[in-house]
Each structure stands twice: as structure tokens, then as C-alpha cells.
Structure 1
């Protein structure tokens, strides 16, 4: 049986970093019980009669959640939380949605505390 000659070839694979390969962060869902408001007028402070109410009688679940990369906008507040004791503070909130797009769970992380930290074991 006669063999056909083929030119030797080498396959090279190159690893390129992309947005899908990012550091992992752990985000603590750490608010008390209260009301979540969207900063409707975007003035960076809570305005009782101007900001939109997103959730009432809500609270952080007390768990730590893994996230790849930083949320859009980085570690910046996207809402205000008013605890039942009357204190108001900035939070980052996010929603978990089901496959039909309905909110299954909402989570609230108080900013200004040291509850955002980079996972040292992530690459």
C-alpha cells in the first residue's frame, strides 16, 4: 500500500484574555429589612417623594454571592435602602430572573462597608 505524502504541520493554540475571563468577586447581601428606592432624579441622594419605590418590606438574604468581573458601572450604588429603623444608605442591588424573565430573587449589598472583596483564588 502506497502512502500519500503530506506536509508536516503544527497546531498552535493561543490563549487570549477576554471579558468572559475575569476576576471573581464575592458580594455580600447584607441589608436589614426595609424599602429599596431607585435614585430616579440621579442626584446621588435619597429623596423621599421623588425616588421610585422598587421593593417594600425587603431584606438582604445574608449570603455571599459569587460574581465574575465587576457589575456594570463598577462598585457604585444603583439604589438607596431605607431600613425600618429609619437609616438610609446606598446599595448595589441585582435581580435573579427565571428563564421567562420574571424576577425570582432580588439581592441588596450595602456599600461603604468592606463586604465587596476580590476572591484571591480566582484568576
Structure 2
């Protein structure tokens, strides 16, 4: 029985980046000690009618470090809480200074929060890594 000759062939697969590939970001954790809250009554300051999320001195405050993140968190790098610095102390039971808008995220291990990070909006401290896909 005679065999038929066939031309050798090679199969080539090409990786093409898609929209589902996450970009890398660096985010500066740039607040001091303070109170993280949602300004429910829209009065521009922390009061008893607001939703308290975190309050120092329980150990959560801006660490001053730059963190790398792959992809965008739910909702992107946008306002998700208000932050009131307590570095300058209190007057009549209220922190000194005006609150400002922040993006905060929780660092978790085994489902438990081990750290919280805060980045002040409008500080240009969020950078997309142009070399990442």
C-alpha cells in the first residue's frame, strides 16, 4: 500500500489582548489619622447622623505608601466616602478641619479585614501603568 504525501504543517496560536485584561494602577494611601464616614445629611462634616465606617485610633489611617493594584475596584477609582482628619485634635468634641472626599479600600486575608487604605480625591496620586496590558 502506497502512502500519499502531505505537506508538513504547523499550527500557530496567537495571544491577542482583550478588554478583559486588567490594567495595573498605583494608588497613594495619603491621608492622616481620622474618621471615615458617609455624609448622609450632606452638611459637609462628621456628625452623629452620618454613617461611621472607621475611626482612628483603632489602627486604620493613611499609611503614606503607594500600593499597586491590578484592575479597577468595583465602581473604579471614585469617591466612596468622606474623611475627617483628627491629626489637629478636637474642639468641642468635633475634629478640627474640613472633611474631604476619598476612595478607600479594604485589604483582606481569609475574609477578614487586616488593613484599610485611604486616597484623597483630586491629588493626582493615582497612576495607570502604561506598560501593563
TM-score w.r.t. structure 1 length?
A: 0.78
Hey, what does 1:81 align to over in structure 2? 83
Please list every run of 5 or more consecutive structure 2 residues that lacks an aligned counterpart in the other structure.
87-95
Matched residues in 1 for 2:72 and 2:53: separation?
Answer: 23
Hey, what does 2:105 align to over in structure 1? 94
Q: SS in structure 2 opposite 1:59?
A: coil
Hey, what does 1:15 align to over in structure 2? 15
Q: SS in structure 1 opposite 2:12?
A: coil
Matched residues in 2 for 1:106 and 1:13: separation?
Answer: 42
Matched residues in 1 for 2:76 and 2:51: separation?
Answer: 22
Larger gyration radius, structure 1 or structure 2: 2
Please list every run of 5 or more consecutive structure 1 residues that lacks an aligned counterpart in the other structure.
none
Deviations 1:67-114, CA, capped at 9 Å, x for gaps: 122222222110110111332001000011112x01011100011111
The offset of 1:121, in angstroms, is 3.2
Where does 1:35-114 land on structure 2 (aligned, <5 Å)? 35-39=35-39, 48-57=47-56, 58-84=60-86, 85-99=96-110, 101-114=111-124
Count of residues paired in the alignment? 118
Matched residues in 1 for 2:45 and 2:73: separation?
Answer: 22
Matched residues in 1 for 2:33 and 2:46: separation?
Answer: 19
Matched residues in 2 for 1:47 and 1:62: separation?
Answer: 23
